[in-house]
Amino acid sequence: MKIAVCVEARPSPAAWGATALALTLPSANVCWLHAGPEPLSSQSVPSGVSAIANVVDAALENVHSQSLASVLATAIKRLGCDAVFCGVLSHECGTGSTGGAIAAQLKIPFVAQAHAVAMHGDQFHVSIHGATMLATVATPWPCVIACVPSAAGLPTLMHSPVVQTFTLDELGIVKQSLRRGLDLKREHIHSTRSKSVKSGAAFLGSVCKPTAAAKR
């Protein structure tokens, strides 16, 4: 089974947790997957991770999480992965939406808040942190599993993982289609201001409307 673990340039505790869970699965071929303006260093890869796949392009600087998810989903299809593990929250985007967005792009199941995973036939049994209790859910693969942070690191013994590097052009992704986080933040501010103005105008209009008694 080939598992892609999505990691940032500086892997977050949640990315380490995702890696640790992927490595617990028997016969798992674990590949670190990263998309950004710079490639991952092979020196930071823990033992057990057999490969690194980088999607490298300057256009990925400060890219919005939805666009990042689209890039990662395209790379996952190119790699032919059977499952995708990621952290519930990253250092870079920080929205917690990337895993679910990848699953939506690939049209596969998504499970969040995982703290343990086991294989049972053609399914994963995933232990998750619910709102008030722990629960176990079964999901077929391929799927995306977002994992909780791990406080403990993993040993980074000297080894030479296979490194693949893709550009956006090689993946068939148009750079102009990527949304930048700063641009969307500005749009959100503009949209919020516009809604506030419209709401204020509607409120003033309702206040100024004559009552039924005044009409009579």
Mean pLDDT for 47-63 is: 92
Q: Same domain for 170 and 196?
A: no
Q: Same domain for 88 and 167?
A: yes
d(CA 70, CA 84): 14
- 56: helix, coil or strand? strand
Which residues is 85 bridged to in the sheet?
Answer: 5, 145
Q: Same domain for 51 and 135?
A: yes
Q: Same domain for 140 and 193?
A: no
* Structure tokens given for 69: 């998810």
Q: Same domain for 175 and 185?
A: no
Q: What is the mean pLDDT of the chain?
A: 80
The pLDDT score that the predictor gives to residue 163 is: 92
Q: CATH number for the domain including 15? A: 3.40.50.620
- 199: helix, coil or strand? helix
* Structure tokens given for 13: 């505790």
* Structure tokens given for 30: 């674990």
Place of tokens 């490969």: 51
* Structure tokens given for 6: 């999505």
What are the two backbone dihedrals, phi and then psi, of residue 166, each rounded to the nearest 5 degrees?
A: -120, 150
Helix H or strand E segment including 214: helix 212-215
Count: domains in the chain = 2
Give me the long-range contacts of 170-179 (CB less than 8 A, separation at least 24). 171/55, 171/71, 171/74, 171/75, 171/78, 172/74, 173/70, 173/71, 173/74, 175/57, 175/59, 177/67, 178/59, 178/60, 178/63, 178/64, 178/67, 178/71, 179/63, 179/64, 179/66, 179/67
Residues 1-26 pLDDT 10s: 999 999 998 888 888 999 999 999 98
All residues at 6 or more sequence positions from 182 whose CB lies less than 8 Å from its CB, including other chains: 62
Residues 97-156 pLDDT 10s: 899 999 999 999 999 999 899 999 889 999 987 666 788 999 998 999 999 887 655 655
Q: Same domain for 135 and 200?
A: no
Q: Same domain for 198 and 171?
A: no
Supply the pTM of this predicted model: 0.78
Q: Same domain for 175 and 187?
A: no
Write out the residue range of the structural domain in which residue 200 sits. 181-216
d(CA 135, CA 62): 36
pLDDT at residue 86 is higher than 90: yes
